[in-house]
A and B are shown apart, each in its own frame.
Chain A
């Protein structure tokens, strides 16, 4: 079905392009926000990505899977935005609506917020594979293809990233307990 959609876009069907946007936009925005660490820049990166797809769709071979091709463009755009604003790579945006939650929920929410911030503190080379794996469900092989890396390198970066996150969250938990 996706192949048919891509072929329609290649024939100049703008309605098909709108359908593609509906299919891909939400997770493209999530991935870009998590990689860049800024919702505003994520919107710009996603916009550029779709324009690039629109301009270059003629070069895409529809017999191949579209998703890795799309995310390769998206990650390149995210990197371009990060290069422009090197100082905005930490996921610093506050999660909202915590005031509306019960004590237990607020505790869980705070944990997720800490974890999200911790993901933002990961090095870019670890953060991008984590985001692609957990937000988009890409396999290690697909991530290797998107990032043009060896699969073992991807496995190693994911392993180290998970270890780093666990370590930070453990420290955070101990600090919370000490503070009462």
Chain B
């Protein structure tokens, strides 16, 4: 028998002989999927544990701050932040140098805002950072709202927001833990892929006392690299200074 014919025979024998194994393809995938889900849950639980430990450590620091000498130190904490500073940030691939101004939110935090583009206002009792110039009536509103809740943990709030976003937004961009621009949870969804489809992005950050800061960004798809990126840059300079004024 020539070598080529012999090679073909070996190959055919192996294919015939292993046909039965291929029938298990779907079953094997079901097992793999189930194990992946279990692993994901396990990782999430480990993440929650780590987050709880970090929260506990932060709470200890805050207990110090809110004791009598600690309370007096808060004003000092605020003084650590320069009233104005010049920063560099990259927006749509371009580096921008700008002067930002320290603003104090009523929910117990400070944040630096580029006041040539945005202002901090109060809407329905909550702090909102809004562009000085909003778009037309057919463009979704753009803002970043920051509030504090003291009766629910960051995990509970993140789970509530996750349910809400999954219900209203067919496109889920990201759900999970993040370290940047703030350390906490992110829930990010979009209504569609059109330029003016709505975008919502929540960050949930521990307040260090069992409660949470909820940072809600609203803009539209085309503004993701503009307002969306600017809001995230602002959050890099978000600092908790007081936990007294939550819901």
- A residues with a Cβ closer than 8 A to B are 14, 17-18, 21, 25-26, 29-34, 39, 42-43, 46-47, 50-51, 54-55, 91, 93, 95-96, 109, 111-113, 115-116, 119, 130-131, 134-135, 162, 165-166
In this complex, how many residues of chain B approach chain A with their Cβ under 8 Å: the count is 27
Q: Which residues of B contact A43 (CB under 8 A)?
A: 21, 24, 27-28
Contact of B15 among A91, A135, A162 (CB under 8 A): A135
Point out the residue from B12, B25, B27 that lies within 8 Å of A26, measured CB to CB: B25
Contact: A134 with B10, CB < 8 Å?
yes
Among A47, A51, A55, A119, which residue has its beta carbon within 8 angstroms of that of B10? A119
Q: Please give the residue numbers on chain B whose beta carbons come within 8 Å of chain A beta carbons, in ascending order.
A: 1, 6-7, 9-22, 24-25, 27-29, 31-32, 35-36, 39
Question: Within the assembled complex, what's the spacing in Å between the Cα atoms of A126 and B36?
Answer: 35
Please tell me which one of the listed residues A25, A34, A95, A131 contacts residue B25 in the complex, with CB atoms under 8 A apart.
A25
The answer to whether A93 touches B20, judged by C-beta atoms less than 8 angstroms apart, is yes
A116 with B20: CB separation less than 8 A: no
CA A109 – CA B19 in complex, angstroms?
A: 13
Main secondary structure of the interface of B (DSSP, over half): helix
Beyond A95-B16, A95-B17, 15 additional pairs, beta carbon < 8 A? A18-B29, A32-B21, A33-B18, A33-B21, A34-B14, A42-B24, A43-B21, A47-B31, A95-B19, A111-B13, A112-B12, A112-B17, A119-B14, A134-B7, A135-B14
**3 A-B pairs closest in CB distance:** A116-B17, A33-B21, A30-B18
* CB contact between B24 and one of A34, A39, A95, A130 (< 8 Å): that residue: A39
